[in-house]
């Protein structure tokens, strides 16, 4: 807390790409840009009743979730992010009063109690967002008291909670539930499945129910994943089968859902920006698994599958990816000469891939019969289309050359430059050419 730039509100933790880390079960509802948070001015007189005067927060994005209000600075050099638990809001003032000031930016106020200090916060909306809808949603969320129904965060209604042990969110676990052994996992799984089954049956009752259940199911999946995660952490020494089983299950669940997808409805004008950040967080895991580079199409499928109901269009995805240039995120969009687009880690290096390709084509059988894109895909553990891109760029670097025949399209190690045009029969010792001659003679 000492390092926190703000001394009244607890800081909110952010992902590397600047998206807030959500608590278990927390869902984003609405965003509002160009927002200042100010302490109630003295003129209103409420200060005399012991209201705490905090330093104002200027120009940021206000995010309403089912559990909290998050304020994130829009200034890239300033990473201030604070969280106000909805549970700590003691009163939301009716908005009417501030509309009177026609020529001011719209504003609304609420009273909040943090660490037994009370303050009246004025939200000044300088952006063009639909603040009235935001205000209505705030009321709704405040009264819904979602934070109380969530079992894992029941103790966190106080304002100081968000900085406590729980790091929450998609990628970490609080470790509160420990599962031991595969039997435990299986039993838990069984229970979960029974619940899921019920949810499924309910879900199909009608379309509205389906929509509301979908979110529930994603929450369910996320919870289960968290539990499995903490389960497998606590028994790393056990057999491979367990790990495989739970890992598979985890993967499976991970692919089920993003709990709180950024939607046009919730994010409005900030849609692409927020989507972009969420996407950057999301791609980390599949990217790692794919070896640092993944096809845009694959991500499109994975991402939409994870979002469940709030599907995005390919254009939205592309736009979200192209916005990465503006943010400090560890991933980037790359376009190959052929037009194929991929997402790759910034740290990903072609040299490393080339080294692996070179090792691959100089194996004895690859020497004599070359490699196809699917051979490379298998060895490198990547998609064939991706492998082909790598092979083509290795070819353009002069590492490989191609052979097109009725048998297909294959790549060979390139030793054209080792042959002396003025003496076609000369074979230099220790050249790739000489190794190739030996390999072909042996086969």
Partner 1 sequence: MQTLGDFKLPQFFNYPPYFTLQPVRDTRDKQIQLWKELILDYCRTQKIFVIGLEEEFPLFANPAIERSLSHEAREAFLSALVSEGRAEWLDKGHKKCLLLWHRIQDWADIILNFVRENGLEDGVTTIEEMRSGIESRGTELHGIDRTILMRALKLLENKGKLAIFKGTSTDDEGVKFSV
Nearer to partner 1, 114 or 391 (CB): 391
Nearer to partner 1, 212 or 417 (CB): 417
Q: How many residues in the shown chain lie near partner 1 by CB under 8 A?
A: 27
Residue 433 lies near partner 1 (rule: CB under 8 A): yes
Distance in angstroms (rounded) separating the CA atoms of residues 49 and 263: 41
Give the x-and-dash track for 227-266 against partner 1 (CB under 8 A).
----------------------------------------
Nearer to partner 1, 170 or 366 (CB): 366
The answer to whether the beta carbons of residues 76 and 90 sit under 8 Å apart is no
Q: Region of 251 please: left (phi>0), alpha (psi -120 to 50) or beta.
A: alpha
Span of 42-50, 84-92, 371-379, 390-398 interacting with partner 1 by CB under 8 A: 390-398
The answer to whether the beta carbons of residues 32 and 134 sit under 8 Å apart is yes
Residue 210 CB: number of other CB atoms within 10 A? 15
To partner 1, the closest distance from the beta carbon of 425 in angstroms equals 5
Residue 436 CB: number of other CB atoms within 10 A? 19
To partner 1, the closest distance from the beta carbon of 371 in angstroms equals 12
Chain-centre distance for alpha carbon 354: 29
Span of 207-215, 258-266, 356-364, 417-425 interacting with partner 1 by CB under 8 A: 417-425
Contact pick of 1, 100, 406, 430 for partner 1 (by CB under 8 A): 406
What are the residues facing 408 on neighbouring strands?
405
Nearer to partner 1, 252 or 409 (CB): 409
- The residue written with tokens 């829009």 in the block is 74
Residue 52 CB: number of other CB atoms within 10 A? 17
Span of 11-19, 128-136, 172-180, 425-433 interacting with partner 1 by CB under 8 A: 425-433
Residue 404 lies near partner 1 (rule: CB under 8 A): yes
Within positions 357 to 386, which residues make up the interface with partner 1, using CB under 8 A? 370
Tally of CA atoms within 13 A in the half-sphere of 339 that contains its CB: 0
Residue 398 lies near partner 1 (rule: CB under 8 A): yes
Span of 26-34, 45-53, 381-389, 399-407 interacting with partner 1 by CB under 8 A: 399-407
Residue 425 lies near partner 1 (rule: CB under 8 A): yes
Distance in angstroms (rounded) separating the CA atoms of residues 230 and 76: 34
Contact pick of 414, 431, 435, 439 for partner 1 (by CB under 8 A): 414
Chain-centre distance for alpha carbon 383: 22
Residue 396 lies near partner 1 (rule: CB under 8 A): yes
Residue 103 lies near partner 1 (rule: CB under 8 A): no
Residue 339 lies near partner 1 (rule: CB under 8 A): no
To partner 1, the closest distance from the beta carbon of 424 in angstroms equals 4
Q: Region of 172 please: left (phi>0), alpha (psi -120 to 50) or beta.
A: beta
Distance in angstroms (rounded) separating the CA atoms of residues 114 and 41: 18
The answer to whether the beta carbons of residues 15 and 281 sit under 8 Å apart is yes
Q: What angle do CA 341, 347, 353 make, to 5 degrees?
A: 70
Give me the phi and psi of 342, to 5 degrees please: -135, 165
To partner 1, the closest distance from the beta carbon of 415 in angstroms equals 8
Q: Is 44 exposed, middle or buried (0-12, 13-18, 19+ CB in 10 A)?
A: middle
Contact pick of 76, 403, 408, 428 for partner 1 (by CB under 8 A): 403
Contact pick of 405, 429, 430, 442 for partner 1 (by CB under 8 A): 405
Nearer to partner 1, 325 or 420 (CB): 420
Tokens read off for 345: 């880690």
Distance in angstroms (rounded) separating the CA atoms of residues 301 and 340: 16
Contact pick of 333, 419, 435, 439 for partner 1 (by CB under 8 A): 419
Closest CA to 274 of 423, 61, 120, 83: 61
Contact pick of 134, 135, 282, 436 for partner 1 (by CB under 8 A): 436
Nearer to partner 1, 317 or 376 (CB): 376
Closest CA to 38 of 11, 17, 16, 9: 9
Residues of this chain that bind partner 1 (CB under 8 A): 370, 395-396, 398, 401-407, 410, 412, 414-417, 419, 421-422, 424-425, 427, 433, 436-437, 440
């Amino acid at each position: 807390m000492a390092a926190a730039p703000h001394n009244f509100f607890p800081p909110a933790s952010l992902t590397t790409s600047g998206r807030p880390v959500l608590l278990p079960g927390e869902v984003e509802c609405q965003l509002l840009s160009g927002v200042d948070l100010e302490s109630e001015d003295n003129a209103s007189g409420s200060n005399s009743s012991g209201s705490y005067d905090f330093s104002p927060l200027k120009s940021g994005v206000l995010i309403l979730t089912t559990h909290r209000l998050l304020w994130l600075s829009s200034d890239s050099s300033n990473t201030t992010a604070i969280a106000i638990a909805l549970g700590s809001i003691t009163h939301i003032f009716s908005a009417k009063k501030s509309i009177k000031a026609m020529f001011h930016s719209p504003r609304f106020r609420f009273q909040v109690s943090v660490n037994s200090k009370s303050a009246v916060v004025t939200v000044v909306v300088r952006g063009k967002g639909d603040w009235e809808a935001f205000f209505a949603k705030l009321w709704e969320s405040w009264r819904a008291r979602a934070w109380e129904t969530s079992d894992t965060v029941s103790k966190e209604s106080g304002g100081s909670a968000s900085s406590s042990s729980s790091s929450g969110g998609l990628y970490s676990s609080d470790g509160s539930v420990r599962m031991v052994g595969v039997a435990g996992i299986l039993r838990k799984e069984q229970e979960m499945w029974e619940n899921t089954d019920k949810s499924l049956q309910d879900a199909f009752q009608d379309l509205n129910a389906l929509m509301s259940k979908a979110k529930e199911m994603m929450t369910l999946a996320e919870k289960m994943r968290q539990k499995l995660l903490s389960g497998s952490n606590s028994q790393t020494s056990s057999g491979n089968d367990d790990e495989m089983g739970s890992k598979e299950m985890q993967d499976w669940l991970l692919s089920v859902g993003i709990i709180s997808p950024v939607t046009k409805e919730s994010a409005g004008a900030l849609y692409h920006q927020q989507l972009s950040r969420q996407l950057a967080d999301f791609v980390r895991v599949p990217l790692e698994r794919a070896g640092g580079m993944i096809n845009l199409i694959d991500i499109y499928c994975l991402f939409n599958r994870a979002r469940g109901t709030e599907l995005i269009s390919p254009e939205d995805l592309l736009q979200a990816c192209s916005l990465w240039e503006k943010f400090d995120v560890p991933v980037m969009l790359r376009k190959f000469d052929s037009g194929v687009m991929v997402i790759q880690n910034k740290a990903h290096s072609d040299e490393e891939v080339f080294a692996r390709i070179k090792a691959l084509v100089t194996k004895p059988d690859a020497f004599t019969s070359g490699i196809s894109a699917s051979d490379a895909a298998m060895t490198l553990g990547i998609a064939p289309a991706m492998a082909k891109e790598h092979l083509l760029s290795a070819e353009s670097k002069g590492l490989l050359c191609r052979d097109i025949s009725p048998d297909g399209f294959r790549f060979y190690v390139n030793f054209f430059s080792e042959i002396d045009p003025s003496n076609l029969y000369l074979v230099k010792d220790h050249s790739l050419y000489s190794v190739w001659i030996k390999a072909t003679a042996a086969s």
